[in-house]
Amino acid sequence: MADRALIIIGNHISPFVRKVLAVCEVKGLPYAMDSIVPFFGTERFARLSPLRRIPVLIDGDVVLNDSSVICEYLEDKWPERPVLPKDPAARAQARFLDEYADTRIADVLLWKVFGRALVAPAIFKAERDVAAIQRTIAQEVPAVLDHLEAWAPQTFTMGDTPGVADFSVASHFVNYRWARGVLDAARWPKVHAWVTRVEACAPMQRLNEIGAKILRVPPDAHAATLREMGVPVAAETVGGTSPQRGPMTAI
Ligand SMILES: N[C@@H](CCC(=O)N[C@@H](CS)C(=O)NCC(=O)O)C(=O)O
């Protein structure tokens, strides 16, 4: 058990952040949220996160970036209630699924659908490019889902309990749905069953509920909304007020 609360700079709207939070919840690690919109991060945020991305984990003097790096740190430091399989082959496969979610699924479902549908208009005041979204859904999403249909586990990637790879993949489908994307259960039944199973587990259900609520309130009300929902909020924030593009901003 952690002897002090971890600080997570992030936002429940982000699938990468919900993955990290789910791991903290599974492991029973106390944390406080500095809920920011990454595009509004201050200069201090840029120093803590060189790519200006969330999540960032602060554990005392340790500052870490990237959701997968953070989850492996949590797994190494608090191995009880594991979130990665022990068997080397299964562990490597779980890591690849997580990587596939962070790169390809994120590129298609998050940046090209959710980003264009919700982030571009809300943050960058850009017009919603409906034609581009529809092109992605028709031309790119099916191949991603075909791969996942072949890889979908019977229950979870770890067997009876969900782990990092399950949280990582399933989280993206929540944002996809928020952007009105539909996962066709008849065409991809195994993916649909897997994602539904992961979403139904306690930490994910709650985290997605918080994300859905945060999505509906303006950034300056995020912290208050979290407090109302019983989420501990960090005393200091690295959140700013004007949009900035990071070196790898994908929309
Ligand atoms: N590979 C990174 C991706 C993190 C990421 O892209 N986070 C988004 C929020 S969902 C972000 O901070 N975007 C800001 C930007 O791209 O400028 C991870 O796994 O943590």
* pLDDT score for 2: 66
| Interval between CA 237 and ligand 1 midpoint (Å) | 18
Which residue has a Cα nearest atom 16 of ligand 1?
249
The Cα 200–Cα 220 span in angstroms is: 30
Shared domain check, 160 and 195: yes
The Cα 123–Cα 247 span in angstroms is: 17
* pLDDT score for 130: 98
The Cα 37–Cα 51 span in angstroms is: 14
Q: Is residue 236 part of a domain?
A: no
The Cα 184–Cα 112 span in angstroms is: 18
> Is residue 177 packed enough to be buried (19+ CB in 10 Å), middle (13-18) or exposed (0-12)?
middle
Shared domain check, 162 and 67: no
* pLDDT score for 79: 98
Q: Is residue 142 part of a domain?
A: yes
Shared domain check, 143 and 55: no
Q: Is residue 239 part of a domain?
A: no
Shared domain check, 41 and 24: yes
Pairing of strands 62-65, 31-35: unpaired
| Beta strand extents in 17-96 (DSSP E only) | 31-35, 56-59, 62-65
Instruction: Report residue 243's pLDDT band, with 50, 70 and 90 as the boundaries.
Output: confident
The pLDDT tens digits for 146-177 are 999 999 999 999 999 999 999 999 999 999 99
Ligand 1 pocket, mutate which of 53, 64, 102, 116 (most atoms under 8 A from CB): 53
Neighbours of 220 (CB within 10 A): 11
* pLDDT score for 251: 84
What is the extent of the structural domain holding 23? Answer: 6-82+210-228
CATH (domain of 119): 1.20.1050.10
The pLDDT tens digits for 109-147 are 999 999 999 999 999 999 999 999 999 999 999 999 999
DSSP state of 135: H
Shared domain check, 126 and 52: no
- What six digits make up the tokens of 248? 């790898």
Shared domain check, 78 and 93: no
| Interval between CA 62 and ligand 1 midpoint (Å) | 19
Instruction: Report residue 82's pLDDT band, with 50, 70 and 90 as the boundaries.
Output: very high
Residues contacting ligand 1 via CB (< 6 Å):
14, 16, 38-39, 52-55, 66-68, 102, 246, 248-250
Q: Is residue 250 part of a domain?
A: no
Q: Is residue 243 part of a domain?
A: no
Which residue has a Cα nearest atom 11 of ligand 1?
53
| Interval between CA 54 and ligand 1 midpoint (Å) | 5
The pLDDT tens digits for 190-238 are 999 999 999 999 999 999 999 999 999 999 999 999 999 999 999 999 9
Find out whether 45 and 239 touch, Cβ atoms under 8 Å.
yes
Element (H, E) at 9: strand 6-10
Angle at 222 between CA 247 and CA 196, to 5 degrees: 85
Average pLDDT, the chain: 96
What is the layout of strands, in order, in the sheet containing 31-35? 31-35, 6-10, 56-59, 62-65
Q: Structure pTM?
A: 0.97
- What six digits make up the tokens of 82? 């594991």
Q: Is residue 131 part of a domain?
A: yes
Shared domain check, 159 and 222: no
**Total number of domains in the chain:** 2
Give the distance, in angstroms, between the CA of residue 142 and the centroid of all CA atoms in the same chain: 21
Shared domain check, 146 and 51: no
CA distances from 124 to 115, 117, 249 (A): 10, 12, 12
Q: Is residue 244 part of a domain?
A: no
* pLDDT score for 241: 86
From the CA of 249, give the closest atom in ligand 1: 16
CA-based R_g, the chain, Å: 17
| Interval between CA 155 and ligand 1 midpoint (Å) | 28
The pLDDT tens digits for 88-107 are 999 999 999 999 999 999 99
Q: Is the pLDDT of residue 1 over 70?
A: no
CATH (domain of 75): 3.40.30.10
| Interval between CA 51 and ligand 1 midpoint (Å) | 8
Shared domain check, 196 and 107: yes
3 state SS of 73: helix
Shared domain check, 60 and 28: yes
Ligand 1 pocket, mutate which of 54, 68, 171 (most atoms under 8 A from CB): 54
State the average pLDDT over residues 179-188.
98
The Cα 19–Cα 212 span in angstroms is: 15
State the average pLDDT over residues 178-187.
98
| Interval between CA 156 and ligand 1 midpoint (Å) | 25
Shared domain check, 197 and 115: yes
Ligand 1 pocket, mutate which of 21, 51, 110 (most atoms under 8 A from CB): 51
Q: Is residue 179 part of a domain?
A: yes
The pLDDT tens digits for 12-57 are 999 999 999 999 999 999 999 999 998 999 999 999 999 999 999 9
CA distances from 86 to 53, 167, 171, 183 (A): 30, 17, 23, 31
Instruction: Report residue 242's pLDDT band, with 50, 70 and 90 as the boundaries.
Output: confident
Shared domain check, 28 and 97: no
Q: Is the pLDDT of residue 11 over 80?
A: yes
Give the distance, in angstroms, between the CA of residue 138 and the centroid of all CA atoms in the same chain: 24
From the CA of 66, give the closest atom in ligand 1: 20
- The β-bridge partners of 9 are 34, 56
Which residue has a Cα nearest atom 2 of ligand 1?
66
